[in-house]
A and B are shown apart, each in its own frame.
Chain A
Amino acid sequence: MLGLSFGRRPEGLRAAGPLWRAATLLVALGVLAPVATLAWLALGADLSHWAHLLRYVLPQAALNTAVLLAGVGTVVLVIGTGCAWLVSSCDFPGRRVLHWALLLPLAMPTYIVAFAYLDLLHPIGPVQGAIRWLLGYDSPRQFRLPDLRSMGGAIFVLGFVLYPYVYMTARAMFMTQPAHLMEAARTLGEGRFGAFRRVALPLARPALAVGLSLALLETLNDIGASEFLGINTLTVSVYTTWITRSDLAGAAQIACAMLLVVVLLVLLERHGRRHQRFGSAQRMRAMQPRALRGAAAWAATTAAALPVLIGFAAPAAYLVWESFKRLRLGQGVSQGLVHSLGNTLALAMGVTVIAVAAGLVVAWTARSHGSMPNRARWQARVATLGYALPGTVLAIGLLTPALAFDAQLAEGLRLPGLPLMGLGVVLVVACVIRFLAMPVGGIESGLARIPPALEQASRLLGENAGGTLRRVHLPLLQPAIAASALLVFVDAMKELPATLLLRPANFDTLATWLYAEAARGTYEEGAIAALAIVVAGLLPVVLLARTQFRGAPDAGAPLSENLHP
């Protein structure tokens, strides 16, 4: 027993039992199932199918997706890096607020911003009306802004809500870059901008790659904004191929094409994460912001406030105003919307409970250094890959096995219809797969902070492994569990693409309610549904702003891990 206090980790203590390992394996297989199904479906379809797809569907959709990704990538890099550098290196009025307010667009799902801007920037809407009034015109025929329903419009909308992914990682990096590197560049003859370009920026490149890949995964996942703005992306064509043409094999083939993009983006992200620590290895005095004065100060304030205004404040104000107008009419809220709210909360709750439980199992098993350390780690990595799968891809991949399983189940139990689909079980499974990375990551880093001595003490006092987990680790893990539960809950509330494809008949969430209204072009209660989602979405942003930017020098990694989609 004395051996415990010496260097080597006592294997017996940390190895997870066979049940834990089996459960983790099951989760990993669950994540792989949709991908394997897609490959099988795509290979199984006959060649004429592929030929048709390659000739008529894929080129346009793939080109649109490529242009959209390139455009959004450029916008998020410029805004995210620019604002992060401005806030890190300069002091100006409002900096302390903007520093965290720049994260606010994270609370705005892409489809809600698109929904809001379609109305805000409508030719006879408030913004264009105000511009015409200022310029003295009185008809949209005399003056109108370029149509938002275009590629440029989609890039604008997505770029201004997704830039925080880059902002976060870049800001964390700039906060931890040792000041003396910048000073060394100055003594070697570089001005402020030169020091940024030749030292700070290359050092931040891995962090930027991580933020960029997360923003682009979101772009790929987006279905609402592209559809509202009339951009036929791969995601949209997966959806229409299945919903309007009932062509599962065709949808699977397009989904496979998307998987290629996903793999590239995940490789980019992994590459970035591997090199992330590179600059901040030595912990040193960080850069002190330089006080700006006069016009320069106000220019900086304007530049840093603009993304918050466009990506959050304007659409949020619009939603508040529209909801207020609607409620003031005294009609109250329709029964359908109340039902959708109930459905949304029930779905989010179910997903949260299962995802956190599965996350606990996976993180606990991966931590064990027992007989099969590599296999356990590997399974944990696979189990958390779901975040990269766009909702439509995941849904198409799950449909076939779920339908087959359902048919068996219905026959065996003599039930009518499709029990699992009908109860929404498939939808919950899809959301769990997609959001599992957050609880696994959160609980893993929580576990890493618990010193092994606590576990050893508990075991020496006669408690067994399960009892130690229950009486020592779980209480200590509470903050990590609560934080990841909140992240999962809110993301499940916002989820649109998988929900659209996998929901039971006549089951609406707030997101699908909004989608249906926007698709019909009727703006009735959509604003209220959107407002509810945004208000819920604010909670994790507040949590992030509090935990990430407050004196945590290593913010880079945990930040983007927690936040992912």
Chain B
Amino acid sequence: MTAALNIHDLRLGYQGPRGLHTVVEGFSLALEAGRIGCLLGPSGCGKTTVLRAIAGFEPVRAGRIELGEVLLSTAERHLPPEKRRVGMMFQEYALFPHLTAAQNVGFGLRRAAVAERTARVREMLTLVGLAEAGARFPHELSGGQQQRIALARALAPAPALLLLDEPFSNLDGATRERLTAEVRDILRQAGQTAILVTHNEREAQVMADRIGTMHNGRLSRWV
């Protein structure tokens, strides 16, 4: 179910007072199904904008984004985010503060039958090693636990592609080391296609099969 990602000659930008302000230009990449890719670069290089365009939160000015057989975005066509089967782990986790950990994980499974949903939530919580924490609210969890719940929530609906936006930047050094390896193993095990955005080179090397370096809105290498 996990799918290959193809981005071709992408241009992104926003409408400013003096016309279109281009942020990303001539961006292309191909990522095979089941692989983990990484966009590496300093802040402001446009890597998060690319991620948000793949998720469907930024309009595409030119070029195209395809996921498997599905055309996600062109300048004319824009599939709404909820139809893309793209999951995302946000930098600040974005856990819903009014829902418990289990309810957060089950959020995207609304269309599933109750029994099926419960089973899937339990499976996901076990996968991230928090089987006992389901009844707790996000503010009762540590930073590392919140991060794992965010991962479980993003994986629960079995997305075709998972996006990770600086997922480890809010954690302290030791937790960060441990979780980086852990998340990589979970993604590998699930055969999940994923794109990670980070400015930390070490993180990129631990996590990714392919690394692209971004600078000033352009992808300089993709290996």
Contact = CB atoms under 8 A, between A and B. Distances in A.
B94 A190 contact: no
Interface in B73-101: 80-82, 84, 86-88, 90-92, 94, 96-98
Interface stretch (A175-183, A298-306, A328-336, A432-440): A175-183
Contacts of A199: 96
Contacts of B88: 183-184, 187
Contacts of B222: none
A contacts with B: majority SS: helix
Q: Find the residue from A183, A191, A202 having the highest chain B CB count within 10 A.
A: A183
Q: How large is the interface on A (under 10, 10 to 19, 20 to 34, 35 or more residues)?
A: 20 to 34
A188 B87 CA distance: 7
B110 interface: yes
Q: Find the residue from A184, A187, A279 having the highest chain B CB count within 10 A.
A: A187
Contacts of A189: 82, 108, 110-111, 157
B80 A191 contact: yes
Contact of B92 (A178, A186, A190, A279): A178
A282 interface: yes
B98 A203 contact: yes
B96 A184 contact: yes
A500 to B, nearest CB: 44
B81 A198 contact: no
A242 B159 CA distance: 70
A293 to B, nearest CB: 14
B1 to A, nearest CB: 14
A178 B94 contact: yes
Contacts of A181: 94, 96
Given A180-B90, A188-B153, A279 B97 contact: yes
A119 B159 CA distance: 61
Contacts of B92: 178, 180, 282, 284
Given A180-B92, A184-B90, A189-B108, A202 B82 contact: no
Contacts of A324: none
A190 B97 contact: no
Contacts of A40: none
Interface in A179-218: 180-181, 183-191, 194, 198-199, 202-203
8 contacts: A180-B92, A184-B153, A186-B57, A187-B84, A188-B82, A191-B80, A194-B82, A279-B97
Which 10 A-B residue pairings sit nearest by Cβ, starting from the closest?
A: A188-B108, A186-B81, A184-B94, A180-B94, A187-B88, A202-B98, A180-B90, A189-B82, A189-B108, A186-B82
Given A183-B90, A184-B153, A187-B84, 15 more contacts: A180-B90, A180-B91, A180-B92, A181-B94, A186-B80, A186-B81, A187-B86, A189-B111, A194-B82, A199-B96, A202-B98, A278-B97, A278-B98, A281-B97, A284-B92
Interface of A: 178, 180-181, 183-191, 194, 198-199, 202-203, 278-279, 281-282, 284
